[in-house]
């Protein structure tokens, strides 16, 4: 079955800092056969400190999430979105790494996830020099996709979905685009007693932190 025949759920997460596996906003776009069925955006109390550089990127402050649910409260409302769907994200390694790390931090079972990364899709289809970057804002400009409020999780998720559709339309499918996600991670306590994620794959939290630092310098994923 081709990717576009399955239910597509595009997601984006925003994070409070570069140290903890935590989410302060998640955007979700649900689509089938090219039609967007519903969109959801949730602020989340990450229960960890915010860093100034993260606030500068997405504009979400501790005051904004003061009355928001924490992730264990929110998860039952959105968990079904990750079942029987292809999860699409721009640099999915980051978004899914943070998501699964957050689930592990709270001791919540990680569901089986099938995913597609629009960064990897783009890399398989054209060189970086073609448009100068694989950043979401750059590719949206190149494909005439409206990106209303970059780093708002819902706006980014919607732009990611539209980019996914454009890449399929212009360049066709590739059997490598859709694959199962295997975090192989387990929750461990760090010296402060807080649960964090110890990954057995190349996607370690240290690499996530390094990636976020590099991306924050460019104000883009």
Give the H or E element holding residue 11.
strand 8-14
Q: Which of 18-32, 40-54, 137-151, 175-189 has the lowest mean pLDDT?
A: 175-189
DSSP classification of residue 40: E
DSSP classification of residue 129: H
Residue 138 in this model has a pLDDT that exceeds 80: yes
The pLDDT value given to residue 183? 82
Domain extent at residue 178: 3-218
- β pairing state of 113-117 and 86-89: parallel
The pLDDT value given to residue 189? 39
The dihedral built from the CA positions of residue 158, 164, 165 and 170, taken in this order, carries a sign that is: positive
The pLDDT value given to residue 219? 45
Contact between 25 and 42 (Cβ < 8 Å): yes
Residue 166 in this model has a pLDDT that exceeds 60: yes
SS3 186: strand
Burial of 82 (0-12, 13-18, 19+ CB in 10 A): buried
Q: How confident is the model at residue 197 (pLDDT cuts 50, 70, 90)?
A: very low
Query: CATH code at 164?
Result: 3.30.420.10
The pLDDT value given to residue 6? 78
Burial of 153 (0-12, 13-18, 19+ CB in 10 A): buried
Taking only the tens place, the pLDDT of each residue in 48-58 is: 999 999 999 99
From the centroid of its chain, how far is CA 49?
Answer: 20
Structural domains in the chain (count): 1
Average confidence (pLDDT) over 75-80: 98
Residue 63 in this model has a pLDDT that exceeds 90: yes
Alpha-carbon torsion, ordered 132, 135, 136, 137, to 10 deg: -60
Q: Which of 39-53, 61-75, 77-91, 207-221 has the lowest mean pLDDT?
A: 207-221
């Amino acid at each position: 079955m081709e990717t576009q025949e399955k239910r597509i759920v595009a997601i984006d997460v925003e994070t409070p800092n570069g140290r903890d596996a935590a989410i302060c906003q998640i955007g979700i776009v649900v689509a089938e056969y090219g039609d967007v069925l519903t969109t959801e955006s949730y602020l989340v109390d990450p229960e960890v400190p915010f860093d100034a550089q993260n606030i500068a990127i997405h504009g979400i402050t501790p005051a904004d999430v003061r009355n928001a649910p924490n992730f264990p409260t929110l998860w039952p409302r959105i968990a079904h979105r990750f079942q029987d769907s292809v999860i699409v994200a721009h640099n999915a390694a980051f978004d899914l790494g943070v998501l699964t790390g957050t689930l592990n931090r709270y001791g919540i079972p990680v569901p089986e996830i099938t995913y597609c990364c629009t960064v990897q899709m783009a890399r398989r289809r054209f060189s970086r020099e073609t448009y100068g970057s694989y950043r979401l804002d750059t590719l949206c400009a190149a494909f005439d996709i409206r990106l209303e409020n970059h780093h708002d999780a819902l706006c980014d998720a919607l732009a990611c979905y539209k980019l996914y559709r454009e890449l399929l339309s212009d360049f066709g499918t590739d059997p490598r685009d859709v694959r199962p996600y295997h975090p192989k991670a387990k929750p461990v306590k760090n010296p402060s007693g807080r649960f964090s994620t110890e990954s057995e794959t190349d996607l370690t939290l240290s690499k996530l932190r390094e990636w976020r630092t590099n991306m924050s310098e460019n104000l883009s994923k």
